[in-house]
Structure formats: structure tokens, C-alpha cells
A and B are shown apart, each in its own frame.
Chain A
């Protein structure tokens, strides 16, 4: 009996360590995207809105942060049942997410490629190239939003 209980406990905590209960997954991914938003905002300000304020290191740091989030394996946070639940707030994941796995994977990979591409050009510091690569990133964000995110 003790052994079973221990197994259950260990399995449960192991699962929690991998992906966590529904609410935790939602909270982690909401945090990830809001952190992304902070960083895209910084790049937008210095590359698109006020190019004269461009600071290579500042933008490269933001681009690296975006790439790091993209490469962190966000897919793990989309476990079964996570289309319902409250993280920091109610999730806006469409239930269709689970039927559109292939499309979602394609869209997510596009984001990963774009994010890594941005980090690469940001390190080089060419403003024009950064602007173009940044455009690809924002486009890839919209790809997933249009596909599986409930509109406000």
C-alpha cells in the first residue's frame, strides 16, 4: 500500500515537473508570451518606430531573449485539456488546437525559424536586415494567433 502511494506520488510529481497541472501550463505559457511581447516591443521601438535610437546590444539582447523562448520547447505547455483553465487569466486557446496539430506545428516552426533568424542578424547589427527579420517574426506570431487563438 505504502509502495503504491509512493509510486503515485512520484509519478504525479514527475509529471508535474515535466508539464505540470493544467493551470500551471497555462500560466507558464502566458508568462512566456508576455515576456516575448516585452522584447518584441523593445525591438519595434528601436528598429521600426525610432530608428535613430537604435542600440545594437540592446536589440541583440531582446532578439536573443525571443530566440531563447522560441527554443525552450513551448509545445510542452500545451497538454491535453489546456484549452480550458485560468493561468494568470482565462486561456484563449481554441479547442481546435488539438485537431490541428500539424498546422500548429508548422506555424510554430515558422516562429522558431524566424526567431533564430532574427537573433542571428541582430548579432551582426545591420538595422535593415533586423527590420526585415523582425517582420518575419511578427508575421509568424500572427500565424498561430489566427489559427488557434480566440479573438478578444
Chain B
């Protein structure tokens, strides 16, 4: 006896698919370069916003979006590997992948804010550090991407593996939010479920992530202007 339950709330699903598109776009714009590097920077800031939202949503979101509900503790991991784990959200192994992805993404976005491309692009917070430190962080930005790519590949392989070996479709629930689960499990889900997506909690999460985006994309530089060479027209000396 199976019933349909809601596992992924709409903000979570939007986050997921926007992230997929953004990462692809960030990759393409970085590879093509030229004028597109500015778009790479903008997309990066958007990804920062997504990331901050996801972190806040990990505390304020509905049940299966919350970090506590799927944090990969050792007992949970052991139970899962022995086939004794029961649940409907992220399984403990998948949860490891979630935290790894969020962590690498944070490094990627964080270093990108201070990076430069030695051509004409400087990350929005470049002015706050030395060029040599920025070069080092740019190196990390390049290296971290390989880890990100590795995790994405692993993520896709896992989806294919679940589809063919375990006959579980993971993609459809991420699109619709709904999943077919055994009735017994469903009852435990519903009984432990908080009120779902609260409008107030959603607004609060959006405010926090938008504030961070505003801060790095211009707010901080406006409040604490850094203009190393006074590169403004009126400051041009006569020689």
C-alpha cells in the first residue's frame, strides 16, 4: 500500500533547478570569457544568493529541507549502509553529498568574490585584499571547480544508479515535490511534519539572502569605498 506525500517544498525545488541552470551558465561564461566574464561574475553572485537561501532554509524550511532532519550522523550512516534506514527525505549517504556540494559551492563562491582574471575582471570584493592574495584565491577558485564537477558527476551517477538498480526515480520528486511511499512510512512523515512552508519564514529567508547579495554586489563597496588609483576622470593629473 503506497501513498503520495509531499517531500520537497517549492522553494527547495526552485533552489535546486535554479542552481543547476546557474552552474551550467557560470561554467559556459567562464569558458568563453571576453565580455561574458562580467556575466560569470553576476551569475556567481546569484549563486551566492541561492546558497545563502539554502542555508537559511535548512533551518526555516519544511521538514525535509531542514538540516537536522537529514544530517548524516554516524548511526544514521551505519543504519543506511546495513539497509536498516527508513525515511523519505535525503538518505544519509545522499545527505553527505548535499553537505559536500554546499561546502564546495561555498568555497567556489567565496573565492570568486575576491578573484581576478588578470585581464580586466575583478571580483566584487577584490579591492579589499592584495593582488597576490587574490591570485591565490583565483587558483583555489580554479581547483575547487574540479571538486564541484566531480560531485555533480557523482550526483548524476547516483541518480542513474537509483533509477536502474533500485528502481527509484529521484528526478520526478524534485520536479513535482511528491513521492510515492509505503503507507506506514507516510504516517510517520505526516506526524513529524511542521506546518510546511510558512510565508513568514520564506520572506525572512529571502530577505537574508537578498541582503547578502546586495552587500557583496555593491553595498559594502558603497559603504567602504576602495579605489586604489582614484581612476576617475577628474583626478587625471597633467602628465
B9 at the interface (CB under 8 A from A): no
Chain B interface, >50% SS class: loop
* B119 touching A37, Cβ below 8 Å: yes
Which chain B positions have C-beta within 8 A of A37?
118-120
A101 at the interface (CB under 8 A from B): no
Cα(A141)–Cα(B119), bound, Å? 7
Chain A 49-76 interface mask (CB, 8 Å, partner B; 1/0):
0000111001000000000000000000
Smallest Cβ-Cβ distance to A140: which chain B residue: B34
Contacts of A46 in B (CB 8 A): 231, 233
* Residue in A33, A54, A138, A145 whose CB lies within 8 Å of B120: A138
Decide yes or no whether B139 CB sits under 8 A from chain A: yes
- Quick one: which of B34, B135, B138, B139 contacts A138, CB cutoff 8 A? B34
Minimum distance in angstroms from B50 CB to a CB of chain A: 24
Judge if A136 is at the interface, Cβ distance under 8 Å. yes
Residues of chain B within 8 A of A135, CB atoms compared: 34-35
**Beta-carbon contact of A136 and B232 below 8 Å:** no
- A142-B119 in contact (CB<8A): yes
Measured between beta carbons, the chain A residues less than 8 angstroms from B122 are 41
Cβ of B37 within 8 Å of any chain A Cβ, yes or no, is: yes
Given contacts A48-B38, A138-B37, A151-B139, contact A41 B120 (CB under 8 A): yes
Contacts of B34 in A (CB 8 A): 135-136, 138-139, 142
The reply on B91 being an interface residue by CB < 8 A is: no
Confirm or deny: B86 has a beta carbon within 8 angstroms of a beta carbon on chain A.
no
* Residues of the A chain whose Cβ atoms lie less than 8 Å from the Cβ of B233: 46, 53-55, 58
Note all chain B residues with C-beta closer than 8 A to A136.
34
Is B236 positioned at the interface, with any CB of A under 8 Å from its CB? Answer: yes
With A151-B139, A152-B139 in contact, do A139 and B231 touch (Cβ < 8 Å)? no
Min C-beta distance of B24 to chain A, whole Å = 20
CA distance A53 to B34 in the complex (A): 22
Rounded to whole angstroms, the CA-CA distance of A42 and B233 in the bound complex is: 10
Which listed residue (B37, B135, B236) contacts A152, Cβ 8 A? Answer: B135
State whether the Cβ of B182 lies closer than 8 Å to any Cβ in chain A.
Answer: no
Chain A hits for B142, CB < 8 A: 151-152
B169 interface residue (CB < 8 Å to A): no
Residue among A38, A55, A138, A151 making CB contact with B35, cutoff 8 Å:
A138
Contacts of B121 in A (CB 8 A): 44, 138
Contact between chains at B136 and A53 (CB < 8 Å): no
Chain B residues with a Cβ under 8 A of chain A: 33-35, 37-38, 117-122, 135-136, 138-139, 142, 229, 231-233, 236
Partner-B contacts on A (CB < 8 A): 33, 37-38, 40-46, 48, 53-55, 58, 131, 134-136, 138-139, 141-142, 145, 151-152
- Closest 6 pairs between A and B when the two form their complex, measured CB to CB: A152-B139, A139-B34, A55-B233, A135-B35, A142-B33, A40-B120
Besides A54-B233, A58-B233, A139-B33, 4 more A-B contacts (Cβ < 8 Å) are: A41-B231, A46-B231, A138-B121, A145-B118
**Between-chain CB contacts (< 8 Å), 6 pairs:** A37-B120, A48-B35, A58-B233, A138-B34, A139-B33, A139-B34
